[in-house]
Amino acid sequence: MKKRMCAILLSVALVMSLFLSTSASGGSSSDPVVTKSYVDVTFFQSAISNATAKINSWASSLKTKYSERAESYVSESNIRDKVVDLTAEAVLRRLQSQGKYLYSSKYMSPITLDSGDVISGRLGTMIIVIEGTTKCISGSLINISRGSEVTSGNALGKFTTFMFPENGGKIEITSKSARVMIDGVYSRTSGGYTPQFIDEAYALKELGLVRGAARGMELYRGNTRAESITMLIRLLGEEKVALSGTHKHPFTDVDTWAQGYVGYAYRMEYTKGVSSTRYDGSSLTTAAQYLTFVLRSLGYSEDAGDFKYETAVSDAVRLGVIPQNFASELSKVEFKRDHVVHISYLAMSARIKGGNMTLLEKLVDAGAVKADAAEAFLNK
């Protein structure tokens, strides 16, 4: 472990020293200004080229020195990618937990928030509350429609555009959950839930089953119906099929990113809407709903009498998908994406109905998960 840390620190120090030691020439005594094109093309390309050559040379010598031991973690791509990835993930987690990570959204992007979540906006950032209740807790916001001000302690009306002023402001979610549209730069602080299964989330990410986005994995919030049906399709190994064609559905409220998943799930009768035209993809999923999806992915069926939706949690214990202590915990807490991750992680080792094959082995056979990724997952 110490040698690996030394290797990582040494590579970072090497790259930093290369950038610091590379001098930018390109001007002269009569014209000392360094042009932007020189910096963008000549200087940086030269610095990157030099850094790559040095790293490759160092990696080669280190491989020779440590032979097979070094082979497992030292390679040209490993040095460059792993150092950057691990550092970026660590920084992102820390900043998000402290509410210091700035998100940037355009064209009134929708986000789902939980009780106690706090949004802080920069000057010009606009927000519209679609579902749930919120209030201003610091500074103020400007009601664009009326030209009035909403001060600390007052609620924000729904379907009204508010703008954060120059001195900033903060709003808090006062309902169990809320749905807002936001345009601009903002930070977000969790309402208090601390994710427990971060390592499992990144393990599933390596399998391609969990995707991080610009906002990270957001394990502290609830999981929506649209997100849950997406996860079901991935657990079934059918994502490529779902996204490879156009699958029609009657719903008018499905977000653009979820069209393929919902359309495919509707055609395959994996899911239904709450009405003939509404899917309600932004509403939050319960533990029973998500475990119903997981049990179906393992080949179990309500029609065959394998389990019931109403008792999906206890049925999942009986069928060996989750342990009893975790089922007991689910009955006491609000269901979060963190719990979705843990259930999905446990499901990888669960056996398909009527056989000895695990869900992970099924996904490998279906080509949904690469064999080397599955092997790395099992060895963690």
Assign 3-class secondary structure to 28-57.
CCCCCCCCHHHHHHHHHHHHHHHHHHHHHH
Model-level pTM greater than 0.75?
no
pLDDT one-digit tens code per residue, 192-228: 677 888 889 889 988 988 876 445 677 878 888 999 9
- Could you tell me the fold of the domain covering 102-189? Jelly Rolls (2.60.120)
Q: State the burial class of residue 63 (Cβ atoms within 10 Å of its Cβ: 0-12, 13-18, 19+).
A: middle
How much of the chain exceeds pLDDT 90, in percent?
A: 38
Which of 51, 54, 17, 22 is closest to 38 using CA atoms? 22
Quote the crossing angle between the two packed helices 225-235 and 287-297, to the nearest 10°: 20
pLDDT of residue 67: 47
Where in the chain do CATH 2.60.120.1030 domains reside?
Answer: 102-189
Mention every residue, 6+ apart, whose C-beta is less than 8 A from residue 359: 235, 297, 298, 347, 348, 349, 350, 351, 352
Query: Residue 320: pLDDT above 90?
Result: yes
**Lowest-confidence pick of 72-86, 156-170, 172-186:** 72-86
pLDDT, one tens digit per residue, over 60-70 is 655 555 444 44
Residue 173 has what DSSP assignment? E
Residue 75 has pLDDT above 80, yes or no: no
Residue 10 has pLDDT above 60, yes or no: no
Q: Rounded to an integer, what distance in angstroms lies between the CA atom of residue 222 and that of residue 208?
A: 21
Q: How many CB atoms lie within 10 A of CB 204?
A: 23
pLDDT above 60 for 241: yes
SS3 track for 202-223? HHHHHHCCCCCECCECCCCCCC
Q: What is the pLDDT of residue 86?
A: 46
Binning pLDDT at 50, 70 and 90, where does residue 176 land? confident
Residues in CB range of 213: below 8 A, 6 or more apart: none
Per-residue pLDDT band at 242 (split at 50, 70, 90): very high
Residue 319: which residues within 8 A CB-CB, separation 6 or more? 295, 298, 300, 306, 307, 350
Cα–Cα distance for residue pair 317/312, rounded to 1 Å: 9
Using the predicted structure, report yes or no on whether residue 350 has a pLDDT greater than 60.
yes
- Between 211 and 357, residue with greater pLDDT: 357
Lowest mean pLDDT among 164-178, 208-222, 313-327: 208-222
Residue bearing the bigger pLDDT, 232 or 215: 232
3-7, 18-22, 134-138, 299-303: least confident range: 18-22
Instruction: Indicate the pLDDT class of residue 51, thresholds 50, 70 and 90.
Output: low
Most confident of 23-32, 185-194, 254-263: 254-263
Average pLDDT, the chain: 78
Confidence of residue 57 (pLDDT cuts 50, 70, 90): low
pLDDT value at residue 49: 61
In this prediction, residues 288-311 reach a mean pLDDT of 93
pLDDT of residue 309: 92
The percentage of the chain sitting over the pLDDT mark of 70, rounded to a whole number, equals 70
**Tens digit of pLDDT for each residue in 83-134?**
444 445 555 555 555 555 567 766 788 888 888 888 988 888 999 999 999 9
Is 189 a residue whose pLDDT tops 50? yes
The three-state secondary structure class of 375 is helix
